[in-house]
A and B are shown apart, each in its own frame.
Chain A
Amino acid sequence: MRLWLALLLLLAAGPARTAEEVVLGLSQDQVSISTSFSGSEILIFGAVKRETAIPEGPPLEVVVTVQGPDRPVTVRRKERRAGIWVNVDAVEVDSAPSFYAVATSGPWEEVISHTEDLRHAVSIPRAIRSVGAPSGVLEPQAFTDAVIRIRRANGLYIHKEGAVDLREQTLFDTAIALPANLTEGLYTTRVFLTRDRAVVARFDTTIPVRKVGLERWLFTLSHQQPLLYGLMSLAIAIAAGWAASAAFRLMRPQ
């Protein structure tokens, strides 16, 4: 799948190369989640490379997206049953990015058209794939909307119009804030150049986000050696309990 996409991209990019191309830089080429991790900010900057003069007509616009790893999400809806609020129905959203940020250089309607949004899956709702809800569910769209609403409230989905600074139709930069509750994985970064609401060039790269040090070690251990991890947790607990008791005895000799 990914290989095909890459091939398609190559084909698409091949003949169009004469026009405009993206040269991209990142403030950090990987994000490390350490024990003290409390969010991060990536600075994405770049330039538009062209062999000819700036074309006439509508100005160039830039759209930048950063997308975390896709995961299926179960969305549950609560309803009042017998006086208390219980989960009544659930929809499995097949794939929703754990993080998604999209920043543009101008108002959304002026930057990209609906068809281009559909083709490249740029806006937040397009980035979520939900194949079908169980037949009993009345409003499947409400569940997808809930994913977007909740994650936007948590700072996991960001939609910022006008957040990309574009100078002389050539230099652009934007900052994307990564929240503290990030998940690990490869974060795809895409830059789209548009003219007259159509995509004229696209550039993709990835930023790996990894737990490092103690975080990495504990997480790996808990998944690969769960028994050992459990025993280690217990040993720490017993040792702490014993230490507390011993310290207490020292402080108050009886």
Chain B
Amino acid sequence: MMIYLPIAEVSVNAFLLLGLGGLVGILSGMFGVGGGFLITPLLFFIGIPPAVAVATSANQIVAASFSAVLAHFRRRTVDLRMGFVLLAGGLVGSGLGIVVFNILREMGQVDLLVRLCYVVFLGIIGALMFVESLRALRKTRGGKIAPRKKHTWIHGLPLKMRFRTSGLYISVIPPVLVGVAVGMLAAIMGVGGGFIMVPAMIYLLGMPTKVVIGTSLFQIIFVAAFTTLLHAVTNQTVDVVLAVLLLVGGVLGAQFGAVFGARMRAEQLRILLATLVLLVCGKLALDLLLRPEELYTLSTGAV
């Protein structure tokens, strides 16, 4: 069944989009990520204009994260105070990201920037996660548990604040900076930034893992919502029909993913996710490195 998307101005197969949303939903249910880092490149592959893909993914992330954060609220694993601090940074970053996005769009380099961001960040995160989970797998076989870091340079900064849910007493500067960075990436890449936020919160801020996902999701909702609004107002590139199709698939897929995920071990899940991230990264890198079939690209005023 073909559906004409009013903003993207292309006609695509509705079942393809439902399937795509479902696939990403399964993964996000399994791994606890928003799935934006997968859905945006997949939308590029099926021919949605990059600007529309980025803006619409942000809208889809709002739904996915909202659904997930409700579950975390029930389990009381959301650090609201930390969430708001990250959010303050995130909104600033998101605004900056849109400005950068629009400047680059006029220069014709937005496609390159988005792809480069993906290759670099997916590559780094994928590789780190792969190595880390391999090590964890070996360690659990040896029967040892990795010790947590105690004090780093981060604890020496001023403007300290107490975060009760996380059991932390640290400066607000690092969380705000993390927020800004993730907000910018969210606006440029059309992702919630969970896959960067989560490791940053665990390794940089030293937050306990059980609060990290809920808190990250909480602030992603707002950043993604803000990004959606900014894209809608400045570029008119949010396609609601596209978003709804992705949502329906995603919501259903997430339920199945959660079931699959519960049957697997944490390290195995992380290795799988890392492999997947590296695969997407590899595909995008090849696109940049190999000679494209068509050296010329067209763009009209609207997109």
Contact = CB atoms under 8 A, between A and B. Distances in A.
A11 to B, nearest CB: 35
Contact of A238 (B4, B66, B291, B298): B66
Contacts of B67: 240-242, 244-245, 248
Contacts of B99: none
Given A73-B300, A77-B295, A35 B251 contact: no
Contacts of B145: none
Nearest to B297: A76
A241 B62 contact: yes
Interface in B6-39: 6-7, 9-11
Contact of B251 (A78, A87, A233, A240): A240
Given A230-B229, A236-B243, A240-B63, A143 B4 contact: no
Nearest to A33: B4
Contacts of B232: 222, 226-227, 229-230, 233
B166 interface: no
B159 interface: no
Contacts of A231: 229
B127 interface: no
Contacts of A15: none
B11 A181 contact: yes
B216 interface: no
Given A78-B292, A181-B9, A226-B232, A237 B241 contact: no
Interface in B227-265: 228-229, 231-233, 236, 238, 240-241, 243-244, 247-248, 251, 254-255, 258
A74 B108 contact: yes
Contacts of B2: 36-38, 180
B66 A242 contact: yes
B25 to A, nearest CB: 9
B296 A78 contact: yes
B64 interface: yes
Contacts of B7: 218-219, 222
Given A37-B11, A84-B289, A215-B6, A241 B298 contact: no
A98 interface: yes
Contacts of A216: 6
Given A36-B3, A71-B301, A248-B255, A230 B228 contact: yes
Contact of B296 (A34, A77, A243): A77
Nearest to A83: B289
Contacts of B243: 233, 236-237
A75 B296 contact: yes
B279 interface: no
B186 to A, nearest CB: 15
Contacts of A147: 296, 298
Which 5 A-B pairs have CB atoms at the shortest separation, nearest pair first? A230-B232, A241-B66, A180-B11, A146-B296, A241-B67
Given A72-B301, A146-B296, 13 more contacts: A73-B298, A87-B297, A215-B4, A219-B6, A222-B232, A233-B240, A234-B228, A236-B240, A237-B225, A240-B248, A241-B67, A241-B68, A244-B255
10 contacts: A36-B3, A38-B11, A75-B296, A87-B111, A146-B296, A183-B9, A215-B6, A227-B233, A234-B225, A238-B66
